[in-house]
Amino acid sequence: MKVSVSQPVAAISGAASGIGLALATLYARRGVRVIAGYYPQDPHDVVAAAAQVEAAGGDALWLPLDVASTDSVNTFISRGIAHFGQLDYVIANAGILRRSPIEEMSDERWNDMLNVDLTGVMRLFRTAVPHLGADASLVAISSIAGGVYGWQEHAHYAAAKAAVPGICRSLAVELAPKGMRCNAIIPGLIETPQSLDEQNSLGPDGLAKAAKGIPLQRVGRPEEIAKVIAFLTSTESSYLTGQSLIVDGGLTVRWPD
């Protein structure tokens, strides 16, 4: 594929499945080149993910990435910039989800969750920012669990996700003089491999039951979140920064029965 130097470059963590893969595929269709980070120990097929993005016309560099490791994040960003020569958008999407009642919440479980879902966001942004120019955009993925609601047996996950909008609000102020923007997405119930995990999340039956309480009468699709992220990284949102957009099919504004 012939690449124009004007085509932007986006770095995406957790790009091999769910929202990350949907975004990489959408960017491919829109001519955005992608530095796609995947975690090698995940069960997702990175070869299939890469093929999907390529089939959509994408120019993507797939690199291993562990957002819990500063060295891994540094290598991911440096290799991506060496390959494409620039970086314009950064999407902190990688995350883990683990069920743990509070009485079973060890320091290790707590710290492992925050190290990925919260500090991992900071690591990615910290490493990327020095390489960004004016009009750059950063987006982090929060969750309706923590970002809006509480979730039993997931206090560590909710705590991490509740803090993500705080990072984005602060960076929006800090980076604004450089012309950079930073926003958060708060997805509602989205059908992803993570939410379909019966052990740590709702599973298929739980999602189907929860859909009945959503005004749109269904859970969301990863592609629907990807479109909002693409908007936030486009010039169409050039005056939007420091915000947390809830994308939930109306769940949080529904009058309780």
pLDDT in tens, 204-226: 888 888 889 999 999 999 999 99
Show Cβ contacts of residue 125 under 8 Å, excluding neighbours closer than 6 positions.
90, 92, 138, 140, 167, 171, 182
- Asked if residue 138 is part of any domain, the answer here is yes
- Structure-token pair, residue 168: 């984005």
Whole-number pLDDT of residue 61:
98
Q: What is the mean pLDDT of residues 33-43?
A: 94
- Number of domains the chain is built from: 1
Rounded Cα–Cα distance for residues 211 and 218 (Å): 5
> Can you tell me whether residue 255 is helix, strand or coil?
coil
CB 170 within 8 A of CB 184: no
Residue 255: pLDDT band (50, 70, 90) is confident
- Asked if residue 54 is part of any domain, the answer here is yes
- Asked if residue 97 is part of any domain, the answer here is yes
* Domain CATH number, residue 223: 3.40.50.720
CB 89 within 8 A of CB 139: yes
Is the pLDDT reported for residue 3 higher than 50? no
Q: Which domain holds residue 76?
A: 9-250
- Asked if residue 29 is part of any domain, the answer here is yes
As a whole number, the mean pLDDT across the chain is 94
- CB count within 10 Å of CB 176 equals 13
- Round the CA-based radius of gyration of the chain to a whole number and report it: 17
Q: Would you name the residues annotated as active-site residues?
A: 157
Is the pLDDT reported for residue 68 higher than 80? yes
Residues pairing with 145 in the sheet:
149
- Structure-token pair, residue 240: 């939007």
Is the pLDDT reported for residue 1 higher than 50? no
Whole-number pLDDT of residue 207:
83
pLDDT in tens, 41-67: 888 889 999 999 999 999 999 999 999
- Asked if residue 161 is part of any domain, the answer here is yes
Is the pLDDT reported for residue 176 higher than 70? yes
- Asked if residue 4 is part of any domain, the answer here is no
User: How remote is the C-alpha of 102 from its chain's centroid?
Assistant: 26
Is the pLDDT reported for residue 197 higher than 90? no
State the Cα torsion 247-119-111-22 to the nearest 10°: 40
Amino acid at 88: D
Rounded Cα–Cα distance for residues 147 and 156 (Å): 12
pTM of the model: 0.94
CB 245 within 8 A of CB 141: no
How far apart, in Å, are the Cα atoms of 138 and each of 73, 126, 147, 176, 242? 15, 11, 18, 12, 10
Whole-number pLDDT of residue 192:
79
Whole-number pLDDT of residue 198:
63
pLDDT in tens, 91-135: 999 999 999 999 999 999 999 999 999 999 999 999 999 999 999
- Structure-token pair, residue 10: 């986006």
Whole-number pLDDT of residue 173:
98
| Angle in degrees, 0-180, between the axes of helices 119-128 and 107-117, rounded to the nearest 10 | 30
Residue 4: pLDDT band (50, 70, 90) is very low
- Return the sign of the alpha-carbon dihedral for residues 102, 107, 112, 117: positive
